[in-house]
Amino acid sequence: MTLEGLRQDIDRIDARILALLDERLEKGLLTRRHKTGTLDQSREAEVLDRVAKRSKCLAGREYTEALYRRIMAESKTAQDRDLKLVGFQGMHGAYSDAAAREWNHEAATIPFQEFSQVFDAVLAGDLDYGVVPVENTLGGIVGQVNSILVTTELRVVAAIDMPIHHCLLAAPGTDHRDIRTAYSHGQALSQCRRFLERNKLDGVVWFDTAGAARMVSEDRPKGAAAIASRFAAELYGLDIIKEGIQDSAANRTRFFVLSKGANGVGGNKCSAVFFTNDKAGALFSVLEVFAKAGINLTRIESVPDEPGDYAIFIDFDGSDQDPRIAGAIEAARAQVRDFRMLGCYDERKL
């Protein structure tokens, strides 16, 4: 046991405390959707009583009670601000989190473990919006998200197209020559394959890029680093050993912003999904409708739905408030099964 080792332990504990404080405040914001007001004296008394009963060690009853009164006061302040809640899949510091913050700097971003949980929370009204990745220039479509989009009742109200810059992150003071292992999401590892090979690093799949960064920050495994964003490095107090380690500079991800209702604004892009009839040339006939109307299709993707059946996603420039676009939509709807507009919206390219 050394002074430096003890200080490193304290740094790890501080990181966990801050993460837990954020999580507690986020849960408080979510509970606000299920209450008529922020003041609930019986609940506060219950929390303080439980804390008092557990204050048996160095953190005595007087200290913990004062601490929790302050935490609950901060939670009420946050709830009274009536922040917009935006959900994303992953942990804070994930690229989806960064996209959500770019879209709305004043919103509170709330992490979820699964994409389906983000969709469900928006549909239930627990969240105002959800931000999900749709496609990546290197990895292609995000299958889980597109599969849910086939049937969801949610609408696309915005899109963000942003560059993905991966960084090699390590705990403060780490000598880059000692790094042997890099933890990250499988897709991020594949996007940095040449960098890993050049530097003789073993890639280890983790559930999330930001989750890998948080793990390295808190657990500090020997000889380990994480591949994640600069945002994650700042959030978890990690050193950036090398920035821009992705194999291609053209690494970009497109994100949809989802809501229960349409945004009421025409926007500059539209998205739709449909099923073609089981006959030759069915897809061509739909695409021909847009071509004849002079409408630029920016995305055409097929996603497996039921065995032998594929959902077709299309994005196109324009707004359904434009009569030319509206006419093409109606003509396309007559050619296919279950043609459904996902939304018309403004897309931002960062």
Instruction: Give the C-alpha separation, 302 to 293, whole Å.
Output: 22
Choose the catalytic residue: 152, 253, 256, 290.
Answer: 253
Instruction: Give the CA-trace dihedral at 262, 268, 274, 277, to 10 degrees.
Output: 140
**Paired tokens of 95:** 């690229």
253 as an active site residue: the answer is: yes
The residues, any chain, with a CB within 8 Å of residue 264's CB and separated by 6 or more, are none
Instruction: Give the C-alpha separation, 187 to 185, whole Å.
Output: 6
3-state helix, strand, coil in the chain (%, to 5): 40, 25, 30
Enclosing H/E stretch for 156: strand 155-163
Choose the catalytic residue: 255, 275, 316, 339.
Answer: 255
Enclosing H/E stretch for 52: helix 41-54
Looking at residue 285, the DSSP 8-state letter turns out to be H
Q: From the DSSP assignment, how many helices (H) and strands (E) are in the chain?
A: 12, 15
Instruction: Give the C-alpha separation, 283 to 291, whole Å.
Output: 13
Instruction: Give the C-alpha separation, 350 to 333, whole Å.
Output: 33
Instruction: Give the C-alpha separation, 345 to 153, whole Å.
Output: 16
Site of tokens 């093409």:
328
Q: What angle do CA 274, 126, 101 make, to 5 degrees?
A: 80
Q: Could you count the other beta carbons within 10 Å of the beta carbon of residue 328?
A: 23
Q: Where are the beta strands (DSSP E) in 206-333?
A: 224-228, 239-243, 252-259, 269-275, 297-304, 310-317
Q: What residues are labeled active site? A: 253, 255
